[in-house]
Amino acid sequence: MAQITKKTDKHFPEDMLFEVVSRLPSKSVGRFTTVSKSWYAFIRSPAFIACHLNRSFARNVDDDSSHCLLDVPTTLDEHKTCTVHCNNTVSFDELHEVYEVELPMDFESKTCRPVGSYNGLVCLTDDGYAYGRIIYVWNPLLRKFKCIIGTSCCCNRLYKKFTEVIVGFWYDVVKNDYKLIRIMYFGKEDFSGYDKEQSHVEVYSLNTGYWRKINDAKLPGLIICSNQPACSNQPAFVDGALIWRALYSVSKIEEDFIVSFDTRSELFRRMEFPDFREYHSTQEVPHLLVYKGCLAFYVAPDCGDEGSEVWSIWVMKEFGVVESWIKEYNEETQQEALWPIGFNKNNEILIDTRDEGIIAFNFQTKQSRILELYCDKSCWINYTESLVFLEEK
């Protein structure tokens, strides 16, 4: 830090410089990394990154201008350009295209799938046969990424045996580490389904750069990674747990339940859905979300079929307590919903619809706004710009 102040203004207190720079937007601070080696080292320091990130989150409580939607192309035949859209108000009343950035990595299948996004880092994987085998963690703002390749013997079996792979991504706030989980189910020899007893679970740490197997992992069911659009397959993250929808059998979708992975104890847990099919058809699929910090799910009749009329939001008020499920909202509408994206800071749900693209729907006012954004061959994910650095490729 002293080297920086000597090269700028010897009378400028270094603590004041830290205070001023740490309050600037991420994109502005990112430009300073090219000033000199000392500036680069200063901005890359863990203390500065943590301070800047904390202040950005605190500022976003009242000002959501750095909260963005990232448009990631999932089919890469035509282009690899992502678009960042940021809002000037918490309700996304004014959504502006801020900048475009090219995906700097290659995907063997020419398709990709977002796994999650935390603190400005976006996790992506190939959406073909290499799903979960080749994973990228990417900072779009800084144009930096890290490629993570599966090296375990179980991962090599992906080429040889019918396999289901589940991937999750999260931030370990205690250890200041970004981590991945990879769950692999291997098909039975007679191709009659997956053998849950032969599952393999491992965790990757960006800090150490290694995969670590979780021994004796007890999975209560088959976690679903369906053929639905990429946006709808990211796990929810609540109270330190990654959360997925799961089944006992792929042939009985109405007998679904919830599987959570506690990232602290590294234990799996089963939780039940409320009896929402008392109000909906047995074929309707719940989509897990986070609503005001609570686990929630969204359900709409037949999810995209013609004639959809009712959208419902259920919320688990106390995480892990099945009795705390309540039906928060139930709204009749003529709009045909496809897939939910998530909630914005104004507690509007962002939904991809058949005819109008992405809309923001307010269950309290019963009003919807067309955002003029579309999911054709792309996926929208919530994204916040940050200065979290990654090693060079």
| 3-state SS string for the chain | CHHHHHHHCCCCCHHHHHHHHCCCCHHHHHHHHHCCHHHHHHHHCHHHHHHHHHHHHHHHCCCCCCEEEEEEECECCCCCEEEEEEECCCCCCCEEEEEEEECCCCCCCCEEEEEEEECCEEEEEECCCCCCCEEEEEECCCCEEEEEECCCHHHHHHHCCCEEEEEEEEEECCCCEEEEEEEEEEECCCCCCEEEEEEEEEEEECCCCEEEECCCCCCCCEECCCCCCHHHHCCEEECCEEEEEEECCCCCHHHEEEEEEECCCCEEEEECCCCHHHCCCCCCCCEEEEECCEEEEEECHHHCCCCCCEEEEEEECCCCCHHHEEEEEEEECCCCEEEEEEECCCCCEEEEECCCEEEEEECCCCEEEECCCCCCCEEEEEEECCCCCCCCC
190 and 50 in one domain?
no
The model carries a pTM of 0.84
Count of beta carbons in the 10 Å neighbourhood of residue 267: 13
CB 289 within 8 A of CB 277: no
Residue 262 belongs to some domain of the structure: no
- Res. 385: pLDDT tops 50: yes
More confident of the two residues 156 and 37: 37
Residue 125 belongs to some domain of the structure: yes
Residue 258 belongs to some domain of the structure: no
Residue 246 belongs to some domain of the structure: no
326 and 312 in one domain?
yes
114 and 53 in one domain?
no
Cα 246 to Cα 268: distance, rounded to the nearest angstrom: 12
Indicate the pLDDT class of residue 66, thresholds 50, 70 and 90.
low
Residue 265 belongs to some domain of the structure: no
193 and 318 in one domain?
no
Find the domain containing 359 and state its range: 283-374
Among positive and negative, which fits the CA dihedral 16, 65, 363, 119? negative
Residue 277 belongs to some domain of the structure: no
Indicate the pLDDT class of residue 96, thresholds 50, 70 and 90.
low
- Among residues 32, 57, 82, the one where a domain terminates is 57
81 and 183 in one domain?
yes
Q: Domain total for the chain? A: 3
CB 377 within 8 A of CB 109: no
204 and 227 in one domain?
yes
Mean pLDDT computed over 274-301: 81
Count of beta carbons in the 10 Å neighbourhood of residue 292: 10
- Among residues 41, 57, 73, the one where a domain terminates is 57
CB 76 within 8 A of CB 391: no
Task: Output the pLDDT for position 282.
Answer: 55
The mean predicted confidence, pLDDT, of the chain is: 79
Task: Output the pLDDT for position 95.
Answer: 57
- Res. 68: pLDDT tops 50: yes
- Res. 158: pLDDT tops 60: no
Residue 341 belongs to some domain of the structure: yes
CB 246 within 8 A of CB 256: yes
Q: Could you read off the pLDDT of 232-263 as tens digits, one per residue?
A: 568 999 999 999 998 876 556 567 899 999 99
386 and 367 in one domain?
no
Cα 340 to Cα 325: distance, rounded to the nearest angstrom: 19
134 and 225 in one domain?
yes
- Among residues 57, 75, 96, the one where a domain terminates is 57
Q: Could you read off the pLDDT of 9-64 as tens digits, one per residue?
A: 455 677 787 888 888 888 788 777 778 888 888 888 888 888 888 777 666 554 44
208 and 110 in one domain?
yes
Q: Which of 93-97, 244-248, 368-372 has the lowest mean pLDDT?
A: 93-97
Strand 67-73 relative to strand 144-149: parallel, antiparallel, unpaired? Answer: unpaired
73 and 25 in one domain?
no
More confident of the two residues 112 and 255: 112
149 and 13 in one domain?
no
Task: Output the pLDDT for position 88.
Answer: 47
Cα 372 to Cα 385: distance, rounded to the nearest angstrom: 22
Residue 105 belongs to some domain of the structure: yes
211 and 76 in one domain?
yes
- Res. 8: pLDDT tops 70: no
- Res. 145: pLDDT tops 80: yes
